[in-house]
Amino acid sequence: MTSKALPLFKTTIIIWSDSDPCQRGIADLARAAESGDAYCSQKATVAVADPQSDPDWDGTDFFGPRAVPDHVAVAGAQSPDTGVAPIAIQDAHGGWWGQHPDYPLADWMHEVTEGDTRRGYWDWVSEKVEADRG
């Protein structure tokens, strides 16, 4: 089994809505975009090996009950080899913008908002699939 240090992923999403997003939670805004009540016009994700050197890091407001870990701790985190390739699951369920029927985006967003996962959606699905197999 091979494991490697994980980068952090910086995702920029532009969501247009007809209400003030400051009055909604992040998860609510994402659900609104997913359901068509708001509009997502652009998304970009980049892997950042050293987030503390990124110009957006210092100005970031961190949401959730847990403090964001120091990057040194994050860099030491190990990626488990679950045996289920996230890309294969993604490809089988509509690609990047798809959704696994047993693991809805709303559940993943809830876990992200609560600080229960830092994984991307398809990595999270892969972990859930493997856990359900065991």
CB-based contacts of 17: which residues, under 8 Å, 6+ apart? 24, 29, 32, 33, 37, 38, 39
| pLDDT tens digits in sequence order for the chain, 134 residues long | 344 445 677 778 788 888 777 766 777 777 787 777 888 777 777 877 777 788 877 766 655 444 555 544 444 343 344 455 676 776 677 766 778 888 888 898 888 888 888 888 888 888 888 888 87
Please give the radius of gyration of the chain, using alpha carbons only, rounded to the nearest integer: 16
pLDDT at 132: 85
pLDDT at 69: 52
pLDDT at 79: 38
pLDDT at 120: 84
Tell me the torsion sign for CA atoms 93, 98, 104, 108.
positive
The rounded Cα 131 to chain-centroid distance in angstroms is 19
The rounded Cα 7 to chain-centroid distance in angstroms is 13
Q: What is the pTM of this model?
A: 0.38
CA pair distance 11, 19, nearest whole angstrom? 22
Token pair of 65 as six digits: 């009950």
pLDDT at 4: 46
Length of the chain, please? 134
3-state secondary structure 36-53: CCCEEEEEEEEEECCHHH
